[in-house]
């Protein structure tokens, strides 16, 4: 699959990825995708503006490739033109050890995987939105939207936030986009009076 993505700075990225034909899958379990609510996003922005918190944007590169496929025999037919296809040993299918894009249970596996890691870092899952994580008595909030994260924190929690970002970068391939300027297609503007406005 080929995709063109526009970045917040106006530059363009061209992406290519191997995707499973999930629509042909017959046997699969949970398919839940970790998507934060828009209401939660607006609440996070509101709290950050009111308390003069910093908001950082982190993006996990290829999140669905991280979790293992547990206790399942899943096979992928190699795409046409793949070097090994029809080779000397006649390989046409391979067994999956990790999730791939297109796999119906891929989003759910990623959700379980990232949730366990965030809880191990001392975050608590919000009861109102399972994709909002709270730490340090509410002085740090993390909103998860599939592979994008917003990390909002009080000035007094800046050192702790840096440690959290380092732990995430050490575990996953992450792009640190620094101060959040755009999230799920919504532009974030920081005004000189400390307020924050959103535009789409």
For residues 186-191, give the mean pLDDT.
94
Q: Write the pLDDT tens digit of every residue in 93-152.
A: 777 777 777 777 777 788 888 999 999 999 999 999 999 999 988 899 999 998 899 999
Is 34 inside a domain boundary? yes
- Average pLDDT of the segment spanning 5-29: 75
Residue 153 has what pLDDT? 97
Q: What is the domain count for the chain?
A: 1
pLDDT at 85 over 70: no
pLDDT exceeding 70 applies to what percent of the chain?
A: 87
Identify the pLDDT of residue 3.
85
Residue 147 domain-assigned (yes or no): yes
Does residue 164 have a pLDDT over 80? yes
User: Does 90 fall in a domain?
Assistant: no
CATH number at residue 160: 3.30.70
Q: Which domain holds residue 126?
A: 26-67+102-199
Answer yes or no: is 77 within a domain: no
Residue 57: closest CA among 158, 143, 131: 143
| pTM > 0.85: yes or no | no
- Predicted local distance difference test score (pLDDT) of residue 177: 83
């Amino acid at each position: 699959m080929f995709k063109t993505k526009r970045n917040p700075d106006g530059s363009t990225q061209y992406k290519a990825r191997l995707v499973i034909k999930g629509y042909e899958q017959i046997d699969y379990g949970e398919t839940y995708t970790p998507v934060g609510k828009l209401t939660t996003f607006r609440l996070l922005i509101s709290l950050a503006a009111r308390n003069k918190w910093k908001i950082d944007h982190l993006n996990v590169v290829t999140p669905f490739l991280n979790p293992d496929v547990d206790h399942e025999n899943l096979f992928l037919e190699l795409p046409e033109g793949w070097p090994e296809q029809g080779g000397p040993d006649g390989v046409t299918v391979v067994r999956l050890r990790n999730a791939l894009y297109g796999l119906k249970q891929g989003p759910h596996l990623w959700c379980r995987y990232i949730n366990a890691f965030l809880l191990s870092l001392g975050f608590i899952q919000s009861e109102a939105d399972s994709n909002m994580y709270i730490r340090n008595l509410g002085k740090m909030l993390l909103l998860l939207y599939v592979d994008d994260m917003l990390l909002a924190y009080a000035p007094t929690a800046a050192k702790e936030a840096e440690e959290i970002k380092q732990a995430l970068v050490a575990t996953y391939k992450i792009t640190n986009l620094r101060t959040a300027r755009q999230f799920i297609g919504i532009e974030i503007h920081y005004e000189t009076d400390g307020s924050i406005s959103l535009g789409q």
